[in-house]
Amino acid sequence: MDIHQRLRIHDVRVLSDDWYVLKKTRFDWQRRDGAWQTMNRETYDRGNGAVLLPYHRARRTVVLTRQFRYPAYVNGHHDLLIEAPAGLLDQQSPEVRIRAEVEEETGYRLHEVHKVFEAFMSPGSVTEKLHFFVAEVADHMRVGAGGGVPGEGEDIEVIEPGIGEALAMVADGRIADGKTIMLLQYAALHLFGPP
Q: What's the residue count for the chain? A: 195
d(CA 7, CA 37): 10
> Which pLDDT score is estimated for 195?
67
- How many CA atoms, within 13 angstroms, populate the side-chain half-sphere of residue 38? 3
Taking only the tens place, the pLDDT of each residue in 139-164 is 999 999 999 999 888 899 999 999 99
Tell whether pTM > 0.85: yes
Q: What is the pLDDT of residue 1?
A: 74
Q: Answer yes or no: are the C-beta atoms of 186 and 114 closer than 8 Å.
A: no
Per CATH, is 49-190 categorized as 3.40.50.300? Answer: no
Q: Could you tell me which residues come within 8 angstroms of residue 115 by beta carbon, excluding any fewer than 6 positions away? A: 94, 95, 131, 132, 133
pLDDT tens across the length of the chain (195 residues): 799 999 999 999 999 999 899 999 999 999 999 999 999 999 999 999 999 999 999 999 999 999 999 999 999 999 999 999 999 999 999 999 999 999 999 999 999 999 999 999 999 999 999 999 999 999 999 999 999 999 888 899 999 999 999 999 999 999 999 999 999 999 999 999 776
Angle, helices 163-171/178-190, rounded to nearest 10 degrees: 140
Q: What is the pLDDT of residue 55?
A: 98
**Cβ density class 38-62: b for 16+ within 10 Å, e for less:** eeeeebbeeebbbbbbbbbeeebbb
Task: Spell out the domain ranges in the chain.
Answer: 3-45, 49-190
Is residue 78 within 8 A of residue 172, CB to CB? The reply is: no
Q: pLDDT tens, 42-61?
A: 999 999 999 999 999 999 99
| Residue 92 confidence (pLDDT) | 97
What is the spatial distance between Cα 99 and Cα 102, in angstroms, rounded to a whole number?
Answer: 5
